[in-house]
Every structure is written in structure tokens, then in C-alpha cells.
A = this chain, B = another copy of it.
Amino acid sequence: MDILSRGDGPLFVDPSANHARQFFSTKARALVDKVTTVAEAVRDLVHDGDYLAIGGFGCDRIPTAVTHEIVRQRKQNLGFAGHTATHDFQILCAGNLLGRGQTLARVDIAYVVGLEARGLSPHARRVMESGEVVCTEWSNYTLAVRLKAAAMGLPFLPARSLLGTDSFRRSAAQVIACPFTGERLAAIPALYPDVAAIHVHEADRYGNCRLRGTSVADLDLARAARKLIITCERLIPHEEIRQDPTRTVIPFFCVDAVCEVPYGSYPGNMPYEYFSDEEHLRRWLEAEREPETYQRFLDDYLFGVKDFAEYLHRCGGLPRLQQLRQQEFLLHRGR
């Protein structure tokens, strides 16, 4: 195929569809019980050097417990898919520049270091300005297209953005011409993450998942990932899944581990469940300003905490979560 132009950015993961097929041929297909703890799932499925992708939208429907555990278990040298990665990215950055080695080594960037309207993360900026993380540039859609290509079992897909910009030049995309119309297109290489984590509303013990609200890129991510950890607000009986198969959006054969983590998106928003804890997120951003303050903050809320339930407890526990539920349903401002 005639390549008209080519981005300079490194490609961190093999886009070969044939190689991915070889892996997927070994993945279990039977309905087996996959319920486990987050600690075990992270220990068994996330390895040093892996390329990781996280579901949701930075502060919305994120698998917080998995990101905490990755940092707590000192996973090293990870690649990461940073599509509107906000609080999730902030957590993973706690594994860099703070004497715990280097959690993040390679990042595909669409949106990192920011927390949208909340401002920029001082520590994530320190990490990204340190030069210790190798980067390749994308956009939210083209990073989603990379996952869609993988979900479709392809090595690439075309798209009409990135073209003509420095974002293209620092990406690993190429420019091709449509063989039918001659229209110039960006060829976007598939991204098959080694491991992904997605938080959903409901899952059965085999990994059949339901969610409510926007799905962002998660349905493609679930299919693209070689290994997939699901955290869910609620485990539900398998029978419920069979009662309404239209509602299943991730099938069991994509899933390797299922962990019930109530309030699992905290301090992020979980649609129809609880709103984001803006106060905690503000305190987190403030703590980041000074490395020493941040170290103490992380000792209190992450490194020195046994598990996600203890983190919730330190953040105000059920009374605080009740307020956030009231905010989500606009019942009350919850303060």
C-alpha cells in the first residue's frame, strides 16, 4: 500500500491481526467462574512491561480500585493508553518520581495531565515533563479507532482526523489514499492492549456485563484487550443475564477476572449511582503541588491503605457516599 506520509511516533504494541489471533485462540471460552479480588486479579493479570488500558472517561465510570492496586503492587514499566485519562492517569503517575520505581514508561496520549474543568495535575505534569516517559500523540477518536480496529480483529482502520497536524507527525499513523475514491485518509494502527480494566454497573460471575449511560470506548476496549479485568458495582445472578440478553454489552469470553467493587468508580462519577467527589479531587490536586505533601497524602490514601474498602472509609465512608448518591440524583446538593 502506498504510504503518502508517516508519523514519527513509536508504536508501543504490535498491531498484527495474525499475532493477536494466535493469542485469542488460547483464551478460555467456557462459562467458568471468574470472581476474584482486585489484588489477585492485578497480581495474576498485570505484569511488569505490560501495555495497559483503562475504561471509562478519566473521572467517569473508572475502575479506581484496579489503578490503586497497580500502583500499590509496584507494577513497573507499563505502557498506557491515555484517552481522556484524568484521575486514572493521576493515580498511575503516583508510581513515578516518588521512589517507587517507574510505573509508567510509555504513553499513547490523547488527553493526559489535565482533569478537564478541574485544572491540571501538578504531579502528572512533573512526570510528563521529566522526559522519563516515552510518548506518542493521538486524539480521543483515533485512540478509540485503534481499539476498534483491534476489536474488529484488524491491523488498522482508516479515519479522517489527525491529518495535517503535529499531532499526526508525533503519532504512529500514516496517510493513505482510499483505493476507491482517492480520498486521503489517516491509517490508524490497531491497539491490542495486554491488559485492560473496565468498571461496569452489573456483571455475572462469568463476566457478562451491563452498563448504563455512555459507553465511551469500553465495548471496543473489552474486545481489543488480550486480558480483561472487570470491576462491577454489583454481581448479579447469571439468570438475570439470560432473562434479557439485549442488555449484555460485554460477553463473558472477553473477560478474565470479575471483581465486585461497590462504589468502584469513586472518587469518579458512576452514572445512575453516585456523583464524583469534587472535594476529594480538589484536595488531591492541592496535595500534588508539593512533592512532600503529596507523598504524605498518598501514604494516607493509597500506599498505606490495605484495599479499596479502606480507601472509601478514609474518604468518609458510607455517609459521604450517601451524599454523592443524592447529588447524582439531584435530590440535594449533598453537603
- Inter-chain contact B179/A156, CB cutoff 8 Å: yes
Q: Does A140 contact B (CB under 8 A)?
A: no
Q: Which residues of B contact A181 (CB under 8 A)?
A: 15-18, 155-156
A17-B160, A153-B160 known; A246 and B213 CB under 8 Å? yes
The number of times this chain is found in the oligomer is 2
Q: Which residues of B contact A17 (CB under 8 A)?
A: 160, 178, 181, 183
- Inter-chain contact A179/B176, CB cutoff 8 Å: yes
Q: Which residues of B contact A11 (CB under 8 A)?
A: 180
A272–B185 Cα distance when bound, in Å, is 42
**Which of B174, B245, B246 contacts A179 (CB under 8 A)?**
B174
Q: Does A177 contact B (CB under 8 A)?
A: yes
Q: Does A239 contact B (CB under 8 A)?
A: no
Q: Which residues of B contact A154 (CB under 8 A)?
A: 158-160, 185
| Interface size, chain A (Cβ < 8 Å) | 33
A18–B183 Cα distance when bound, in Å, is 8
Nearest CB on B from A160, distance (A): 7
- Inter-chain contact A15/B180, CB cutoff 8 Å: yes
Nearest CB on B from A244, distance (A): 8
Nearest CB on B from A174, distance (A): 5
Q: Which residues of B contact A117 (CB under 8 A)?
A: none
Q: Does A58 contact B (CB under 8 A)?
A: no
> Which A251-288 residues have C-beta < 8 A from chain B?
none
Nearest CB on B from A210, distance (A): 9
> Which A138-160 residues have C-beta < 8 A from chain B?
153-160
